[in-house]
Amino acid sequence: MGVPLLNASGCLDPLTAPEVARSLDVVVTKTITPLPRRGNPPVRIAEVEHGMLNSIGLQGPGIDVFVDDHLPRLAALGVDLWVSVGGFSAEDFARCCERLDGDERVSAIELNLSCPNVEEAPETAAELVAAARAATTKTLYAKLSPAQWDIAASATAAVAAGADGLSLVNALRGLALDERTLQPRLALAVGGYTGPGLRPVALACVYACAAAVDVPIVGMGGVVSGRDALELVAAGASAVALGTVLFADPLAPGRIRAELGAEAAARGFADIANPSSPLVVRTGKNLQTDENDTA
């Protein structure tokens, strides 16, 4: 049984770092919107305790330039490719999904239903999933926010609306103040908080959703080691995405894959670091002992 490793959306530019991309099982693009976006004004990044804040604001070329210019180069990397899409209305999600539907270079679409740095769509997450589902037959992963009391209810609604899997979790909102002036360090004050501080939150979200729905879950949030990845798998994830860690350690995928195998083996679990299985492992079967494996 393998645990595929992905990058978290927005945390790797695969065209700038193709070797890092090739060290992953799946590459996920930064969120693409229907129209080009310049993103938020700088300063957009701040290092904080146990992680970082970002306020990128969905900067990107727009879906048409993405498909015509970026997609051919991404496909040439030879790595399984997921495209993250986002927007400000159900129509935006539908438009991006429609454009990618039937494109064999794209193996799944991740719906960014939860960007903390831009205005939210007026529709609920489930309504956005339904709009995407109507626009494409591709595998759809719904990426949810951890900033909700009952994430399992949202997950259940997203799956009922047509999501094939879940990506858990996106950033939490955070604020950092300059030590001397006590003014916000980011231009727009509040940003998305990611990194190790998010880890227990992500674990709780994966755990709650895995109990509520029977679809594959990509777990992410603060993973810096194989042990962290293993904990997400134990909580119910069948794949793990690496985000903030990639900024500090681009070699993290190889290291974490090796650590994951060793940590699992040390606890008597089967070889879960072999990335051969597709994302179909279900909750409760994610961790098998060697004995179970051979039974």
Ligand X SMILES: Cc1cc2nc3c(=O)[nH]c(=O)nc-3n(C[C@H](O)[C@H](O)[C@H](O)COP(=O)(O)O)c2cc1C
Q: Which of 23, 33, 40, 112 binds ligand X (CB under 6 A)?
A: 112
> What are 171's two structure tokens?
């950033």
**Could you say which residues in the range 252-291 bind ligand X, by CB under 6 A?**
none
Report yes or no: 120 and 89 within 8 Å, Cβ to Cβ: no
| Residue closer to ligand X, measured from CB, 10 or 288 | 10
174 binds ligand X (CB under 6 A): no
195 binds ligand X (CB under 6 A): yes
* Annotation says 115 is catalytic: yes
| Residue closer to ligand X, measured from CB, 119 or 291 | 119
Q: Give the contacts of 189 (CB within 8 A, at least 6 positions apart).
A: 175
154 binds ligand X (CB under 6 A): no
C-alpha torsion 231→235→236→239, nearest 10? -20
Query: Which stretch, 68-76, 147-155, 218-226, 261-269, contacts ligand X (CB under 6 A)?
Result: 218-226
Report yes or no: 69 and 29 within 8 Å, Cβ to Cβ: no
Cis bond before residue 106 (omega within 30° of 0): no
222 binds ligand X (CB under 6 A): yes
145 binds ligand X (CB under 6 A): no
- Convert 114-141 to b/e letters by CB count within 10 Å (16 or more is b): bbbbbeebebbbbbbbbbbbebbebbbb
170 binds ligand X (CB under 6 A): yes
Q: How far is the CB of 66 from ligand X (least distance, A)?
A: 13
Q: Which residue minimizes CB distance to ligand X?
A: 10
Q: How far is the CB of 270 from ligand X (least distance, A)?
A: 25
Query: Which stretch, 6-14, 75-83, 208-216, 282-290, contacts ligand X (CB under 6 A)?
Result: 6-14
The Cα–Cα gap between 271 and 106 comes to: 28
Q: Under rule CB under 6 A, how many of the chain's residues touch ligand X?
A: 24
| Residue closer to ligand X, measured from CB, 209 or 223 | 223
Q: Which of 210, 217, 220, 279 binds ligand X (CB under 6 A)?
A: 220
Angle at 242 between CA 263 and CA 46, to 5 degrees: 125
Query: Which stretch, 2-10, 87-95, 134-142, 210-218, contacts ligand X (CB under 6 A)?
Result: 2-10
31 binds ligand X (CB under 6 A): yes
The Cα–Cα gap between 267 and 138 comes to: 37
Please give the order of strands across the beta sheet that includes 51-54. Answer: 45-48, 51-54, 190-194, 172-175
The Cα–Cα gap between 169 and 149 comes to: 14
The residue type found at 157 is: A
232 binds ligand X (CB under 6 A): no
Q: Catalytic one among 11, 97, 115, 209?
A: 115
- Which residues does the annotation mark as catalytic? 115
Chain residues in the site for ligand X (CB under 6 A): 8-11, 30-31, 54, 56, 84, 112, 143, 170-171, 192, 194-195, 198, 220-223, 243-245
